[in-house]
Amino acid sequence: MHNQLLVFAKLLLWAFNFLISLAAMGAIPTTLEGPFEPKTRRFDPSMRRGSIDLPMHDPRVRRNVTGNFPEQISLALSSHTSMWVSWVTGEAQIGTNVTELDPSSVGSEVWCGKESGNYTITKIGVSTVYSQLYPYEGLLNYTSGIIHHVRLEGLEPGTRYYYKCGDTSTPAMSVEHTFETLPLPGPNAYPRRIAVIGDLGLTHNSTTTINHVTLNDPSLILMVGDLTYANQYRTTGGEGASCFSCAFPEAPIRESYQPRWDGWGRFMEPLISKVPMMVIQGNHEIEPQAAGVTFKSYLTRFAVPSEESGSKSNFYYSFDAGGIHVIMLGAYEDYDTTSAQYAWLVKDLEKVNRDVTPWLVAAWHPPWYNSYSSHYQEFECMRQELEALLYQYGVDIVFSGHVHAYERMNRVYNYTLNPCGSVYITVGDGGNIEKVDVDHADDSGKCPKPMDNVPEIGPVCHLNFTSGPAKGKFCWDRQPEWSAFRESSFGHGILEVLNSTHALWTWHRNQDVFRDDVRGDRLYIVRQPELCTPVGQVIP
């Protein structure tokens, strides 16, 4: 009875919000009114371009548990009826000589139920550790605490659950936490709000971003790469740097101070222990170490539904969130037409039923469409390999980070305005230690050289435009027509899907956290299935 009342109350709230949104539609533009004239809001000179990192002794970052009590608790979606629960036990080690903990020494249990203190579901999971090793004198090695992943199965959609995690034999169980499962896939069922965050880091601006996200009460988080910026430090810790190569030119390798990962997990726990967070890797997750090993932190710390979505790699996967099918792609993994990722993507797109999940959303770290000088055309190769496929299957929205600014595009395909193209959005400034990007490639003297922006992994395919106002040029001489709005600011985005054709997108700037009447950018994204028929779909 309690769950029925809860569902009814949610339906009433959704209906109320929908009516409010409809009433406001006259004041908020829609993509039907586009393409829009390009607009730039210049960086506010009263704001700081940089951000100060939180120290490791900050109470939100330091270790506040003892023994094998769980910490860094987080959630991730697994399937319509299952949820991943992850956490860490034991102390990480950093030094010249480190010894890995024994994962089998601590159990991995989750107790779960629909009522507080009444746990009807008990699941056992797996545990592991990882190390970050450097064969260089003076560099410290690291080995993690024990990382646990448990898959909770048999859950009911749209239901609140209470859970504890840990090891009952020690005993060392966490306090009780709660989460709410998402609705089943369907054209009339959507998450309440989806927060989209890029390039977050662990700074004072990061705290503002996460406080702001928490106030917006999302039911799902998309984290589009560059999570901790642990690789802005030497292995000895100390002060981080906004530019590693500038501050530490003598470093024999791009080092990483791995305790920042643990601090980030503690900092994020209050939010992601109750709201599932779906991650994808960015360049700051590469973290090279001995024997050419990369991405060890990312691959070990996060549970993602790769196997559940038919992927054999945690670098790319997909999942459903009510009536939205979300595809997370790996920009630092092979993506050409002969790659495993491309083959998986084709199969995943072929399985999407737009009658069940009308919305198709994709996310990866570096943007394809970007008018800032920073990372300009850096992943043009990826665009050339994959854009036609995503266009054919009618991807509605694409989220990326990497560029430390905000930019929303007009609907575009192959650099040409197209009413059936995707809406590309860059949200690359959640609050990291690196500075806000303020220079545009079309500003006088700011066009990068063709070989400036080279990806850390992957080929280079820079090109001059072959048609349109910038024909024959590498950079436009004004804001490109496909760039609808751009602004240099810290913040996060919120996507609210209202029904099978309308979604409200909002950019929330950090400086507006306590100003309910101010938004950085707002737009209704409107699908037109009668105009744009994806491959394999028939519009009656």
Beta bridge partners of 398: 362, 424
Beta carbons within 8 Å of 27's beta carbon, 6+ residues apart: none
Amino acid identity of residue 140, one-letter, is L
49 alpha carbon, distance to own chain's centre:
22
Active-site hit among 80, 325, 365, 375: 375
C-alpha span between 459 and 383 (Å, rounded): 12
C-alpha span between 491 and 406 (Å, rounded): 8
**C-alpha neighbours within 13 Å on the C-beta side of residue 508:** 25
C-alpha span between 142 and 301 (Å, rounded): 14
Beta bridge partners of 328: 317, 363
Q: Kindly report the three-state secondary structure assignment for every residue of 7-67.
A: HHHHHHHHHHHHHHHHHHCCCCCEHHHCCCCCEEECCCCCCCCCCCECCCCCCCCCCCCCC
- SS3 (DSSP) at 119: coil
Beta bridge partners of 463: none
Helices 340-351 and 380-392 meet at what angle, rounded to 10? 20
**C-alpha neighbours within 13 Å on the C-beta side of residue 160:** 13
Nearest to 470 by CA among 478, 462, 461: 478
- SS3 (DSSP) at 462: coil
Helices 259-272 and 204-215 meet at what angle, rounded to 10? 20
Phi-psi region at 139: left, alpha or beta (left = phi > 0; alpha = psi -120 to 50): beta
375 flagged as catalytic: yes
C-alpha span between 492 and 520 (Å, rounded): 10
Which helix (DSSP H) or strand (DSSP E) does residue 246 occupy? helix 244-247
C-alpha span between 400 and 255 (Å, rounded): 25
- Residue 122 backbone phi and psi in degrees, to 5: -125, 125
Catalytic positions: 375
